[in-house]
Amino acid sequence: MEVVFNLVWLIPLFPLLATAAITFVPGVYYRKKLSARLTIGMMALSLLLSLLVFFATVAHPETQARLEGHAAAVKEAPAGEAVPEAGEAPAGETRPAAPEAEGEEIFLPPRPIFEREFHWMATGRLSLELGFWVDPLTAAMLVMVSLVGLCIFIYSQGYMAAEDYQGEDQRYSRFFSFLGLFAASMLGLVIADNILLLFICWELVGLCSYLLIGFWNFKKSAYDAAIKAFIVTKIGDAGFFIGIFLLYIYTDHMSIGYIIHRPEVLNRLAHTSVLGIGSVAALSAIGLFIGTIGKSAQVPLHVWLPDAMEGPTPVSALIHAATMVAAGVFLVARMFPLFQAAGSGTMEFVAWIGGITAIFAATIAIAQYDIKRVLAYSTISQLGFMVLALGLGGYVAGFFHLITHAFFKALLFLGSGAVIIGAHHVQDMREMGGLWKRLPYTFWTYLIGMLALAGIFPLSGFFSKDEILLDAFKHNPALYVIATIAAFVTSFYMTRQMFYVFAGEARSHGARAAAEVPLFGRELAAAAPADPHGGHGHDEHAVHGGPLPLNMTVPLMVLAAGTVLLSAVGLPLEEGTLFSRFVGGHADFSLLVAGISTLVALAGIGAGHLIYGRNLLRSAHDPDPLQVRMERVRLGRLRLRGKTLDLRLSALYTLWEKKYYVDEIYGFLFVQGSHLLARVSGWFDLAVIDGAVNGAAHLSRLLSSAFGWFDLEVVDGLVNLIGWFGRVFSAIQGWVDLYIVDGLVNAWALATGWVGDRLRRIQTGLVQDYLMLVLLGVALIVGLFILL
């Protein structure tokens, strides 16, 4: 076991090697298939090792003790004590039994079962250590990231082959090198035991996100989206960095374990105040949470994620749904005790941000037409759910939802990519339709993902969402109502999407030509009846590409299986669930809440069926059925300058379609604002600063003419007198210099020249003469040696 844990650092190294090979070896870079296979192979190795680590973690006695249901014992003496000295963990001393934080009990996650630190650098009294560790959180994340990652890598092979590279085919290799770098940084982020290393990897995944969003950088929209994503997340990262500094200043440690596993440290942080603003714990937790807001696209900084859909779909699935955006949530889960020590105010802030994000993004998703944008807003909303759970103290619920969401959202995104490629680069849902019989594998797997997202009973999404709702139900009724409405909206917009994409008749040429390669048998000819180049292939969209290859559909099935099977670890046992025992928290189950949430999800699907299933679109130009219905409801009349304006309910729909105008508001406030600031500064520069400078110039000209006169008449006279004396003196000096000093120097030079002239006769240029000289020299030395 120890051997396996010692190899943890290899997990992020494997994909990094693939990236290095593609980047630095031209022989790999120019061979597309080799690049792809190399990256996939390396990822497979990572997955293998991750699984080993995971099983080693499960088999560890400490974990076994928890899994067998000593939850009560664990709760009283949080981990640690029940267990013999854990592996290499340097901090082995027993902890004081009960944390004495103000009233509330602080949940301490189980200690890592393996930890290894090494010196990174030491300057003066600053000594930085980096390291990696394995604890249940890490083990679960490792398997999730590498499994989802591998599926997406394999899928990318097919997806990226169907894209148009505008003549730069090596972009295909570059794509895989970026993916490898991303996987390496994400896995590094997961195993980091140190907030600094975590931050480094955090920035690296941000960089990869930037590179991959802007992957089609010949498109202005992609290029703009990349910059937007980078800048917006950087705002969050600034907060994160401040949080790190605060923690470092007050603890002298960058190690996460030092903070989250020691009640006395947490207690000290909670009772030390910074400049009278608040406690260190609260300020640093809020700082870290601002990082989360940026990375996980929570409400004020959510604007980058929908635009990030400009990147290739596998990227959306991997980075902007399953892993990177979840890193923000992971950070909160990782630093969870700090958030609890920060007090109820901070936790409530976190919860409300999550709740607002959940409902806000979910409503926007109702009115989007781009298949990927719907999923993007859905992702934001689900991340809101996770943050909400963590804010309410639901450590297990939030983290479990992170894992299940990664599977089903990756599945949905890959499914949407399959639809896009299958329907020949159609992204607008209004131009799809009727795909369920043309892309059966995609349809059925998508259906599983959609039901999981909606939270229908046997699927994993049901259990994870239910735990969140239960936490909200117990702690905060207002947030429970919000979350339930968001859950309703979620199943509604997913139903809308299903009907738009898969039901009815195909509404574009691309959609009509969609097909898949069957899993068994060779019915290729039958599976692709709509020949891409025959019939109607020459219309506005030149249809190219054949049926969906298997390397795109099989990952869908793997992820769908994962979505279904994950529910096994979420099944409620008599105390908690397998998952909650594994990560060392507690989870409950309430039939009432589960019943309500199932009803709500079914109601959402029913409403979706009533509105969209009964009114299937006939052509791509039909209006949205919901919009049509909302148009009929008149809320009131507005009188404006004599004109009467009907205020209809569809205004709300427009508001959703325009994403609550957040982009416009930010554009006005920040972009226009900074332009305005620039103009004001410009005016200030021109009028005030330049004026002052010019005034000073005038003044100095006046002064200088006065000084000029003084200089000419008085100073010059004096200077001339001194100059005359100087001339006389220098004439004397010149004579001495010429005859005495120069004479000496010349004599020396002549002597040197003469000696040199003699000596250079020795240098004949003949080898044998030199050898003779050497011989004579040796003879001389030997002679002297003998003589003396």
Residues that bind other proteins (CB under 8 A): 760, 763-768, 770-772, 775
> Considering beta carbons, is residue 98 or 775 the nearer one to other proteins?
775
Which of left, alpha, beta for 124 (phi over 0: left; psi -120 to 50: alpha)?
Answer: left
Please choose, from the candidates 230, 238, 352, the residue with its C-alpha nearest in 3D space to the C-alpha of residue 287: 238
Euclidean distance between CA atoms 267 and 281, whole angstroms: 9
Which residues are within 8 A (CB) of 256 and not within 5 positions of it... i.e. 6 or more apart?
A: 192, 193, 194, 195, 198, 334, 335
- Per-residue b/e over 614-635, b at no fewer than 16 CB within 10 Å? ebbbeebeeebbbbeebbeeee
| Least distance in angstroms from the C-beta of 781 to other proteins | 16
- Is there a contact between 178 and 215 (Cβ–Cβ < 8 Å)? yes
Query: Sign (positive/negative) of CA torsion 286, 290, 293, 295?
Result: negative
**Which H or E element spans position 126?**
strand 126-134
User: Which residue, 732 or 759, is less far from other proteins as judged by CB?
Assistant: 759
Cβ at position 786, least distance to other proteins in Å: 16
Residues 6+ apart with CB under 8 A from 339: 285, 289, 332, 346, 347, 350, 390
The whole-angstrom separation of Cα 586 and Cα 576 is 5
What one-letter code names the amino acid at 328? G
Cβ proximity to other proteins: between 573 and 755 the closer is 755
| Residue 160 CB, nearest approach to other proteins (Å) | 54
Please tell me the chain's helix, strand, coil percentages from 3-state DSSP, rounded to the nearest 5.
70, 5, 20
Tell whether the torsion through CA atoms of 713, 716, 719 and 721 is positive or negative. negative
Q: Please identify, using beta-carbon distances, which residue of 671 and 774 lies nearer to other proteins.
A: 774
3 state SS of 114: strand
- If residue 585 lies in a helix (H) or strand (E), which one and from where to where? none
Q: Least CB distance from residue 761 to other proteins, whole Å?
A: 10
Give CA–CA dist 414/552, Å, rounded: 8
Residue closer to other proteins by CB (options 68, 757) is: 757
CB of 749 to other proteins, least distance (A): 19
Shortest approach of other proteins to residue 773 CB, angstroms? 11
Residue 189, C-beta contacts closer than 8 angstroms, at least 6 positions apart: 198, 201, 202, 204, 205, 327, 330
- What's the token pair of residue 646? 């009907």
User: Is the separation of the CB atoms in 86 and 79 below 8 Å?
Assistant: no
Our CB check for other proteins shows the closer of 93 and 757 to be 757
Considering beta carbons, is residue 591 or 786 the nearer one to other proteins? 786
- CA 407 to CA 395: how far, in whole Å? 19
Q: How far apart are CA 415 and CA 548, in angstroms?
A: 11
Work out how close the CB of 756 gets to other proteins at its nearest, in angstroms, rounded to a whole number: 10
Closest to other proteins by CB, 706 or 766: 766
Q: Using the minimum distance from each CB to other proteins, give the nearer residue, 766 or 788.
A: 766
Locate 603 and state its tokens: 């109601």
**Rounded-to-integer distance, Cα 721 and Cα 194, Å:** 76
- The torsion region of residue 230 among left (phi > 0), alpha (psi -120 to 50) and beta comes to alpha
Q: How far apart are CA 532 and CA 359, in angstroms?
A: 42
Helices 440-454 and 460-475 cross at an angle (nearest 10°) of: 20
Give whichever of 687 and 755 is closer to other proteins, judged by the CB atom. Answer: 755
Indicate the residue among 755 and 772 with the shorter CB distance to other proteins: 772
Minimal distance, residue 126 CB to other proteins, in Å: 49
Q: Which two tokens stand for residue 514?
A: 């969609």
Question: Which element (helix H / strand E) includes 539?
Answer: none
Closest CA to 609 of 449, 499, 450: 499
Between residues 10 and 771, which has the closer beta carbon with respect to other proteins?
771
Pairing of strands 278-279, 634-640: unpaired
What's the min distance (Å) between Cβ of 129 and other proteins? 46
Q: How far is the CB of 778 from other proteins (least distance, A)?
A: 10
> Angle at the Cα of 526 (from 520 to 527), degrees rounded to 5?
65
Task: Find the shortest distance in angstroms from Cβ 748 to other proteins.
Answer: 22
CB of 755 to other proteins, least distance (A): 15
Shortest separation between residue 777's beta carbon and other proteins, angstroms: 13
Shorter beta-carbon distance to other proteins: residue 632 or 760 = 760
* CB closer to other proteins out of 746 and 763: 763
Closer CB to other proteins, residue 731 or residue 766? 766
Provide, rounded to whole angstroms, the least separation between the CB of residue 787 and other proteins. Answer: 21
Q: What angle do CA 647, 651, 655 make, to 5 degrees?
A: 150
Shortest Cβ distance from residue 770 to other proteins (Å)?
A: 8
Which of 534, 765 has the CB closer to other proteins? 765
CB of 766 to other proteins, least distance (A): 5
